């Protein structure tokens, strides 16, 4: 089933790219494997997926210790300071940097592990109270400036989660504002390439608005069982 899901999804992404004149190969498809096990990850990997996203540090460690660098790991969840060392140990990319404190901790841990950590700044692009992320453009410019001083950090782009709504325009506006922010930063001397945006419900809009990293879970693995404990995986 995972194999079929991936082929169907890739065909849809390719079609959307074709319709809006984008090159399919410039988009990385990250399979969000949270709450799913090693067998499912391996099946997705055999079906051509190389990138996997996790949002809980312990679950990432557990899977990393089984699969190591056979696949590329992305940390996409809220990161507490005391878990940074795990994310840095396992993840090639940390998508969810939403404060300078967190970035400084990542830099410190990366130095200890002799690693240059690739990160993205998570930006809040909607007015929902529950969403994490840097809330204003000023904050993003500030952390972007500060990040230049951190020698074990490589900022590759921006990430956002769209608002939970059926209103396509709100979702589109959220993705579009992230793209415009990236362009602004790059006009000011930064060189950010990635836009991590788009999930199962909104990946087509994200592709149309310039996404370079899609984070897709349920369209690949099916519905998640949230009662599942990470230790059972």
Ligand X SMILES: *Cc1c(COP(=O)(O)O)cnc(C)c1O
Q: Which is nearer to ligand X, 76 or 103 (CB)?
A: 76
Candidates 101-109, 167-175, 184-192, 215-223 — which segment interacts with ligand X by CB under 6 A? 215-223
55 binds ligand X (CB under 6 A): yes
215 binds ligand X (CB under 6 A): yes
Which residues lie closer than 8 Å to 211 by C-beta, 6 or more apart? 27, 175, 195, 196, 197, 198, 203
Q: Which is nearer to ligand X, 34 or 109 (CB)?
A: 34
Q: Which of 17, 27, 32, 103 binds ligand X (CB under 6 A)?
A: 32
Contact 166, 123 (CB under 8 A): no
d(CA 190, CA 32): 28
Q: Which parts of 142-171 interact with ligand X (CB under 6 A)?
A: 161
Count of chain residues binding ligand X (CB under 6 A): 14
H or E, element range at 155: strand 153-159
200 binds ligand X (CB under 6 A): yes
Which among 4, 39, 66, 14 is positioned nearest to 204, based on CA atoms? 14
Candidates 59-67, 165-173, 196-204, 225-233 — which segment interacts with ligand X by CB under 6 A? 196-204
93-97 and 194-196 strand pairing = unpaired
Residues lying near ligand X in the complex (CB under 6 A) are found at: 32, 34, 55, 76-77, 161, 199-201, 215-219
């Amino acid at each position: 089933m995972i194999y079929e899901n991936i082929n169907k999804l890739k065909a849809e992404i390719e079609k959307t790219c074709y319709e809006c004149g984008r090159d399919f190969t410039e988009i990385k498809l990250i399979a969000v494997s949270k709450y799913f096990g090693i067998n499912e990850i391996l099946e997705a990997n055999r079906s051509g997926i190389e990138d996997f996203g996790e949002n809980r540090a312990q679950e990432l460690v557990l899977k990393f210790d089984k699969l190591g660098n056979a696949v590329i790991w992305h940390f996409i969840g809220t990161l507490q300071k005391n878990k940074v060392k795990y994310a840095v140990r396992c993840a090639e990319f940390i998508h969810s940097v939403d404060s300078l404190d967190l970035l400084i901790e990542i830099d410190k841990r990366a130095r200890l592990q002799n690693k240059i950590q690739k990160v993205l700044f998570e930006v809040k692009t909607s007015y929902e109270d529950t969403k994490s992320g840097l809330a204003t453009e000023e904050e993003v410019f500030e952390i972007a400036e500060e990040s230049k001083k951190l020698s074990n950090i490589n900022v590759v782009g921006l990430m956002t989660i769209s608002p939970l709504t059926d209103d396509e325009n709100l979702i589109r506006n959220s993705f579009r504002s992230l793209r415009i922010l990236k362009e602004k930063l790059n006009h000011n001397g930064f060189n950010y390439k990635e836009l991590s945006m788009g999930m199962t419900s909104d990946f087509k809009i994200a592709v149309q608005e310039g996404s370079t990293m899609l984070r897709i879970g349920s369209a690949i693995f099916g519905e998640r069982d949230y009662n599942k404990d990470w230790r059972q995986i």
